[in-house]
Structure 1
Amino acid sequence: MSQTSIRQDRVSEEDDLARLLLEHAPAAIAVLDTDMRYLRVSRRWLTDYNLSESSIEGKSHYELFPEIGEDWRAVHGRALHGETVSSDIERFDRADGATDWVRWEVMPWRRPGGEIGGIVLFTEVLTGLVRSQTRAAALNRELNLLIDSAERHALCFLDRRGRVIIWNAGAQRLYGWSEVEALGREHSFLFLPSDRMTGLPATQLRTALEEGSCHSRSARLRKDGTQFLADATVNAVRDAAGNAIGFGSVVHDMTPDWERMQAAEARVAQLRSILDTVPDAMVTADEKGDVLSFSPAAQQMFGYTADEVLGRSISMLMSPDDALKHNRGIERYGADPARGPLTGPREVQGRRKTGEVFSLRLFVGEATAGGSKILTGFMRDLTAAERVEAERRTLQTQLLRISRITTAGTMATTLAHELNQPLNAIANYLQAAATLVGEERADACALVGEALEEAGREALRAGAIVHGLREFVRREELDRTIEDPHDVTAQAMILGAVDCKVKGISCTSSVPRTMPRILVDRVQIQQALMNLIRNAIDVLGRGGVIDVGARVDRDMVQFTVTDNGPGISAEAAARLFKPFLSDKAEGMGVGTGMGLGLSICRSVVEAHGGRIWYETEEGKGSCFHFTVPLADA
């Protein structure tokens, strides 16, 4: 074989080796001539820069990458002059806006004669690695910030033997030991001496190895010797093969939470003690009306145990009528919670376990806990109060009756005087009539008729005196009913103001139709109003104004009868409500007769638990006031 053939074979072999090297080289390689035109490239170069062999044939490097700036062109120029230039990493901005991070080297290649034939570019795109490292660094910074910002959390990492190898700022704040002081020490120094003696630190690590984690709550020791309640979790940390390489420990200072919890438990215990001793029954229910709690007082009142009531509808504690109203109210409340329950005190009918229905006063409140509505009801048994009230009314009626009867001594003299006048007049008129009958006078019949007419009037007067006296003495037990003040006043005015129109007196009512109802004996209260109206009519004589009004005064309704008459003189005021003192004769300016009208009014009002009084200004008129109880008082 000739030398020429040998050289040709060697060149061909070298060319094949060069091609094989370019195809399998891990780096991107490009061989360019002195005009920066491509001669050969590695497969990695085509892949990294998204090129094809056909796209680079005869092309200049600057044609394919027009975005290359002057700094890169200067590097290429330095290599073409024989210098090798490199960089471990550098940013490269592409024309499409993307950014690559590249490790590169540029060096000249020479011809057999030694002259420079061009340059070789070696590049390795590190964009993915840079991004991963950047993300990892950011995550590491954020994790360190998170760890160090945990105010009441101590985070540390232990090796397999339990020695501290990582100690965060939170651990330093919580325990007081600096990182230098803590690193390398067995973590048992953080436990109380008594716990170290019992082997608690080693037990927790062993449990974490066996079960994956160990959670505990116990006292821990600070550098200054003080203690705190620690909520600790120790997790075993393993490598990819599952081998334990250490432990992660997270400790949370529970002292403030524990102190708040202890204080809250103390407050709850105190509140429960108070509620258990309150004589009023307390029942809580959810927004559906199902019982959540049932106090001891409620158990005593209704006869049920708490277990018999809890979870059941509270309507089981109500009379049938009130249970029906309750169920309807719960339906309305569920449809529109914004309306709220019917709060404020009211009287309802309860039902004991025995079936007995009794009266109770109910107070309802509403609260929100955990996003749910809770209704609280306080109940007071009115059975004893009603019994005492009934006894009080009976006693009051009896005392009033006795008081009226004990007036009989005074009444006897007054009655003899009052009846003596009409009886004497009757006797005189009858005697005169008898005399006239025996005489032969032309006007005898007319005179006899007049005498008999006057005798009849005096007889009626005597009968009125006796009737008034009987009403005063025989007033019986009140028949109380719930009444409308406006209607009671209107009917009293119809009966009491019959003469007003004839006498030119204006008698009006200013009692509002919206007044709350009262609990009274309707007939007796109307009688009292009629007496006051009749007195005002007698005072005015002809012309004048009378007004009947009413207003709410705490748990009572106050009625007022006002006139614009002459008023009451000072000497008459002291004897105004005394029975059997004729105000007409004394010039008191209020009413006529035996003086029983105002006395009867006072008896009626006081029997209702109210009071009666007056206000007057001489020459301008008088106001008589009295009070009666509200129906829901």
Structure 2
Amino acid sequence: MSDRYRLLVESVTDYAIYLLTPDGRVASWNPGARRFKGYDDTEIIGQSFENFYTPEDRASGLPQRALRTAEREGRFEAEGWRVRKDGTQFWAHVIIDPIFNPESRGVLGYAKITRDLTERREAELALKRSEEQFRLLVQGVTDYAIYMLDKEGRVTNWNLGAERIKGYRREEIVGRHFSIFYTPEDRANGEPAKALATAFHTGSFEKEGWRLRKDGRPFWAHVVIDPIRDDSGEIIGFAKITRDLTDRRKVQEELEKSQQALLQAQKIEAIGQLTGGIAHDFNNLLTAVVGSLELVSRQISDPRQASLIENAMSGAKRGVLLTQRMLAFARKQELALQAVPLDALITSLKDLLQRSIGPLVRIETDFPASLPPARADQNQLETALLNLVLNARDAMPDGGVVRMAGRCETVASSNSHGLAAGDYLRISISDSGTGMDAGTLDRAIEPFFTTKGVGKGTGLGLSMVHGMAEQSGGRLAISSLEGRGTTVEIWLPAARQADSAEAHRLPMPSEPAEKPAERLKVLAVDDDALVLMNTVALLEDLGHEVVEASSAKEALALLSNGERFDLLITDHAMPEITGAQLIAAVSTSWPALPIILATGYAELPRDIPSSVARLSKPFWQADLEKVLAAVTASRIQDAA
């Protein structure tokens, strides 16, 4: 039997198995001992087993204590550093069992088993170092909240990032359920449980949404939840990573707003260009219609036919108003910019405004007399205010109060309004009516967009006011909440000292002028045959001789051939040579020839001489008569 045990021990190479004498000397030595301690049998048998201990352990008496413990307790077991023959150290697991004499119970010696656990210890230490580094890494991260949840969703640890982002200290949050970070609405909808269920069943949960800090403030979070499994694959908890993306979301929202504003501005600009072109062509058509109706009306004696003509004339007048609003939106109307004292303007308008909106709505005004004048076209501003007050009345079908106020504002060079730096007058018109939702508010200034019923509005009121404000160098601002009313603000530049009209028009007599005593020979130029025919007919009806030219080139040829004229009346928008270019050529070669520019365009070259009279299309015969009288009077004055 002893031979079998000997053979068993001799075959073991992974363990050092040997005997010690009662005083600790080596009595036997197996191959395992030789393999990782380095001693041959002849070198170590008879030597003290203290040779395997470090100098520090020998000095502290550890070898002898180990033997005494084994004798006293029947066993000694420990781990520690041991020394090989070559002086290198290894981490050993040691068991020492006493061998007793069965008769005397005295110690015959000790059985000692040693196992080299250096590799395992290094692996454990490496793992420990890795875990510590990971712990320090997680704890050191401040831009991310990284923490763990148990299976029920309670917080089990907490890093600095979580404390910074969510506001809770570790001792305040560990052990509490993570649903505390969710909004009341999300908690009511069961979002926390859904998140854990998704991570449990699909292996991950990822989402962005509003979360709450300790102080109740919301923040926009990106959340990832992953399940944590043990060695057997069972889920024992969840790892949760949260990032605060509030600043990025704000930037994204601002970018989206800017993009929307740009798209809206581009859309409005495109609509404005289209509207301006249509309005100009419509002006030409109305010029022919208005003039023809006016001439025909004088030749009709039948009351029924006269009534039909009058009806057609009323329609034409409405068309003129429509084109004016379209041109206002397109910022192509002709403005006579001047200093307009707002307190005096509102005082003179208040009765008219009150009569226009009826007894159910009261107007309150607040325009201090100390306000500086605004730089605006008074007629256009009056029309704009009337439009806005009527809109306010329509928003309050059961009656209410319209509040009109004026304030002076100073705009810095960098501002969000898109205005040039300087002083402005802010005119506000507020109501407490139905208000507008966000979609309606976004489209409020689009031409032809209206919330009123069919036939109850053109959809050009606000767009006209917008165009007038922009063309005057100001802006239109609208704020509204559904069910909370609307406030519309017109911002206009404060008038400069000695501000004057910029339209370069000759002053017109306030009363219709008499026909010029002399019969004028007029050169009429227009590329539109309908308009040219109308202009010729109106002039001839006033008793003048008219020569037609369908282009500027044809007009210059007539003048160059020596034909004499008393007056030139020309359109501006013509092919090849424009009216402005024709005026420049005539002013150089025939400077004494009076000129009238008849056009529907507000945007004209700045170098048109101030002596050139302006006649806006469409025009009535009375308008033509006034400008002829003014030009004739000016010519007589110059001759004198």
Q: Same fold (TM over 0.5)?
A: no
TM score, norm. by length of structure 1: 0.45
Q: Using CA pairs under 8 Å that are at least 6 residues apart, name the structure with larger relative contact order, 1 or 2.
A: 2
Structure 1 or 2, whichever has the larger Rg, is 1
